[in-house]
Amino acid sequence: MTRPSASGDISLADGESTNRWIAWSVPKAAPYNPTTLVFENRLYVLHDRGFLACFRVSDGSVIYDRQRLPHGRAFTASPWAYNGKVFCLNEDGVTFVLKAGDEFKLLHTNKLADDDMGMASPAIAGDRIIIRTSARVYCIREDLK
């Protein structure tokens, strides 16, 4: 995490995790494909091979280290959050729904069609989420009844 006024070479010296310009850093915490997610003052890191880690935004301290999403396998799409939950869509078209917070807690999973491959990050548009898979596009929203 960099401070807003940083410019020029802000590189960390060997062994450093902070300096004048960098508030904190955690070596090897970043995923290869999915973008990290900040939600409710926590940084969620979804790793490509199905692990989720959580850090405190203010100082980079570990809230929980890499926790395995059961049968999660491969992740390319970035996670998203809504209504106290974190969502992670894997390449098999399974969305893992976790409780946002200081404890790793899987609430449930939602499976798309068997021929769906989920590699694109979903888009949120108002009260809808758009999920594009290799086979179709879904528009999902809460039932208004």
**What does each C-alpha distance from 22 to 5, 10, 12, 60 come to in angstroms?**
10, 7, 8, 11
State mean pLDDT over 128-144.
92
Each residue's pLDDT tens digit, 77-133: 999 999 999 999 999 999 999 999 999 999 999 999 999 999 999 999 999 999 999
CA-wise closest residue to 60 among 24, 93, 88, 100: 24
Q: Which domains does the chain have, with CATH numbers?
A: 37-113 (2.40.10.480)
pTM: 0.90
Q: Contact at 8 Å (CB) between 66 and 53?
A: yes
Count CB-CB contacts under 10 A for residue 97.
15
